[in-house]
Chain A
Amino acid sequence: MIQFTPSTDVDFVIIGSGAAGGIMAKQLSTNGFKVVVLEQGGWGKYGKEHEYTKDEWLNDHPSPEDRLMSDPSRQRNTFRRNDKENATAGTHSYGCVVGGGTVTYGGSSWRHLPWEFNELSHVGPIAGSGLADWPITYDELEPYYTQAEWEMGISGKRVNSPFVAPMSKDYPVPPVPLKASGALFEMGAAKLGLTVVNGPIAIISQPYMGRSGCVNCGMCSGFGCHVKARSSSAVTMIPLAVASGNCEVRVNSYVREISTDASGRVTGVTYFDKDKKEVFQKAKAVVLSANAGESARLLLMSKSARFPQGLANSSGVVGRYLMLGNTVNVSGIMDQPLNDYKGVVTGAGIVDFVPSDPKRGFYGGGRMTARGFDTPINYGLRGLHPDSPKWGAGYKKALMAEANHKFTITSFVTQQPLETNRVDLDPQVKDDWGLPALRITSTSHADDFKSMEFFRQKSIEILEAVGAKRIWAGPVSDSRGGAHNRGTCRMGNDPKTSVVNKFNRAHDVPNLFIVDGSNLVTGGRNHPTMTIQALAFRAADNIIRNARRGTLNNL
């Protein structure tokens, strides 16, 4: 791997190596630009993926250098419901390794539907909601969805349905197995007149581009993939970036500031290396791809005389319109075994309720997914029916009776962007690097709670239709953090109400690009990764085109 000195004025520093950062690194470096990628986490098992552990206990207790997610005891964060509350310690975490969250995610790769790019025009204003139209259309993004699906490697089956985004090309790899839970979805859907589709998943069901197909090991979401079947940035984009000879990936690099000069242009970034020593890396331009929470925090930390509210924040919108990701889980016990611990987390979705319906009396929709994911320790500790005994002879009996018989439906539900839901800098709590901790302030819109309740009821209907017994569904609750965080640097045409333009360039800073989930104007149905990836391919295309026309210094 090529190495640059910090004083080398590289073309781009990319902050983050996940869903978006990996793509930016590969696209820019293979097009001849000199790139340094700064990643907070370590290498993971990059290049020796067969060493990824499938030992549940070890995976739950990683050594510091084997961590795949951020550590809330070091990357501290706080949470509060609203401005009146004092924030308390939060559990928010995110992918923190070369490849970011794509190293461990479930891999759901749904596109947003065409109307999800102009929901405001589509449904009209909603009181208390910051719903807005995107500055781009589905048609503008469609070629990049296709590019992402084919370059990353997505398994799936193209369908013609009003509930699924239209595609110009098939998926490159056939779908992953439907699983027993998916078969139950089919049975329930047949009775209730619903539509089941194979989930588009970033896990290859067959060999593709030199990688092995999934062996359905079952130690899936939350684990690194030992056969490289999960199409993470770490096995798809980063190796190509490194092979270009133009890209250096620097791990354990914790960025604390994006630096600017008197003219308001970015000059480079300051980060802590693995020994917490400060390093300034010079760059002609910066791409910020650190995830919605971290990208906004870094901008807010990058204050200067010229940017007193934080970098790229003349609008005051940085950090706002945060969407964390609401889900609803409902389970029941089936007569026959599902053995759903085998295979990927989810193989099938029911998509009829993706669109909203005014008749329901609220705005929102969602995607129902058939889940079954009980690794043995998790099953023993948390997997049983809540009314089953917790210990003793009764517990053991329940362990045996319920094992592999649980059918869970997880719905991924709309969360509207609200101006008041946001991340900012905690005034008291510091992270392990002495920087202000991320503070999350969030309460979902009343409609979002109604949406969750709707999916709770629909899930019960489906479970009943397939004969599930002892159905349980706790009261709905909204998210307090996690890897699906979106918004915070929304895209738009108006510099007064948005942070980046339609090509991901910061309105206020010509040589700063923000490319990650923070750009999402609306959150879709809480399946963000494929849209983040498509936006990254599109942003890279435009940066490359512009840079070729002039020079990077004129960006």
Chain B
Amino acid sequence: MRPQQRSRRQFLIESVAGLGGAWVAANYAGIMEAQAFVQQAAGSGQPIKLAFFTEAQAAEVDAMAAQIIPSDATPGAREAHVINFIDRALVTFEKNQQQAYVKGLQELDTQTKTLFPVAPRFSALTAEQQVQVLTAMEKTPFFNLVRTHTVTGFFASPIHGGNYNKVGWKLVNYDDSLNHKPPFGYYDAQPLPRR
């Protein structure tokens, strides 16, 4: 191994703090690829190299995520790069869900064509139409899986690909300093006796 590779590997292992060495080694290829992908994605305007999804699949999942946590006056799943998180998760921690996505995206396509027969695909629909399709699917295991992954990607540490620039944490005023001093909130800042 060339020194440059070694240091990059070392950097990676350290950056995934909390993972045991053997586990990292066993899943190294996937994590490596996903990490490179995240770094790429961090640079604005760079084309994204996907670790699991095809470009077309990524567009569909991204569109779903963008309806689960929409972008409006404040950032949503899209600005949080949730799709990066999901793509990466599917080659690492959530490997066992790969088939659920492959199958689920077919269900999404079927549901899209049922409601909108001439639509080429879910991501080509208007926002309102997308909401209609997802509402029809919201009780399905696939929708719940994408919801779980979207919310998780929105709030997980940015190191995992989503929550880009901590937009998820900022949305809910979460202070990630991991070091706090009381008073923590409004009520414990009130003078004694508290009534």
Please list the residues of chain A having a beta carbon within 8 angstroms of any beta carbon in chain B.
51-59, 61-66, 177-184, 186-187, 190-191, 215-219, 334, 336-343, 376-377, 379-381, 390-393, 395-396, 399-400, 403-404
Measured CB to CB, the nearest residue on chain A to B172 is A403
Contact of A53 among B18, B69, B156 (CB under 8 A): B18
Given the known A-B contacts A180-B187, A400-B171, A404-B185, are A392 and B70 also in contact in the complex, defined by CB atoms under 8 Å? yes
CA distance A253 to B73 in the complex (A): 55
Interface centre among A186, A338, A339, A403, by most B CB within 10 Å?
Answer: A339
Residue pair A216, B194 in contact (C-beta under 8 Å) = no
Residue of A with least CB distance to B152: A377
CA distance A400 to B138 in the complex (A): 22
Q: Is the CB of B182 within 8 A of A340?
A: no
Q: Is B30 an interface residue (CB 8 A)?
A: no
Produce 1/0 per residue, B155-190, CB < 8 A to A.
111011000000011011111001111111111101
CB < 8 Å: which of B148, B160, B178, B184 contacts A54?
B178
Tell me how many residues of B have a C-beta within 8 Å of chain A: 51
A58 and B19 within 8 A (CB): yes
B72 interface hit (Cβ, 8 Å): yes
**Do B184 and A339 have beta carbons less than 8 Å apart?**
yes
B146: shortest Cβ distance to chain A, in Å?
9
Instruction: Give the Cβ gap from A213 to chain B, nearest Cβ, in Å.
Output: 11
Asked if A55 and B185 sit within 8 Å, CB to CB, the answer is no
Q: Is the CB of B172 within 8 A of A186?
A: no
In this complex, what residue of A is CB-closest to B148?
A: A381
Report the bound CA distance from A338 to B16 in whole Å: 31
Q: Quick one: CB contact mask for B136-154 with A, threshold 8 Å, 1 for yes?
A: 0010000000011001101
Q: Does B68 contact A (CB under 8 A)?
A: yes
* B interface majority secondary structure: loop
- In the complex, besides A58-B157, A380-B152, 10 extra interface pairs with C-beta distance below 8 angstroms are A57-B93, A66-B20, A179-B182, A190-B193, A338-B184, A339-B184, A376-B168, A381-B148, A392-B131, A400-B171
Q: Is the CB of A65 within 8 A of B22?
A: yes
Residues of B with C-beta under 8 A to A392: 67-68, 70, 131
In the bound complex, how far is the Cα of B171 from the Cα of A42, in angstroms? 38
| Residues of chain A with a CB closer than 8 A to B154's CB | 380
Complex contacts, A342 vs chain B, CB 8 Å: 175, 180, 182, 184
Contact residues in B for A380 (Cβ distance below 8 Å): 151-152, 154-155, 168, 172
What residues of A have a CB within 8 angstroms of the CB of B183 in the complex?
177, 180
CB atoms of A58 and B188 under 8 A apart: no
B134's nearest neighbour on chain A, judged by CB, is A391
Find B19's partner among A66, A184, A399 (CB 8 Å cutoff): A66
- With a cutoff of 8 Å between Cβ atoms, the chain A residues found around residue B74 in the complex are 396, 400
Q: Taking the complex as formed, is B23 at the interface, i.e. its CB lies under 8 A from any CB of chain A?
A: yes
Which of chain A's residues has its CB closest to B17's CB? A53
Interface centre among A56, A58, A187 (most CB of B within 10 A): A58
Asked whether, in the complex, the Cβ of B69 is within 8 Å of the Cβ of A395, the reply is yes
Complex Cα–Cα for A74 and B19 (A): 20
Q: Mark B108-134, 1 if CB is under 8 A from A, else 0.
A: 000000000000000000000001001
Q: Is A395 touching B68 in the complex (CB atoms < 8 A)?
A: yes
- A183 with B190: CB separation less than 8 A: yes
Given contacts A337-B185, A390-B147, contact A376 B174 (CB under 8 A): yes
B151 cross-chain contacts in A, Cβ below 8 A:
377, 380-381
Least CB distance from A331 to B in Å reads 15
Residues of chain B within 8 A (CB-CB) of A218 are 178, 180
B174 and A55 form a contact (CB under 8 A): no
Inter-chain contacts of A58 with B (CB < 8 A): 16-19, 157
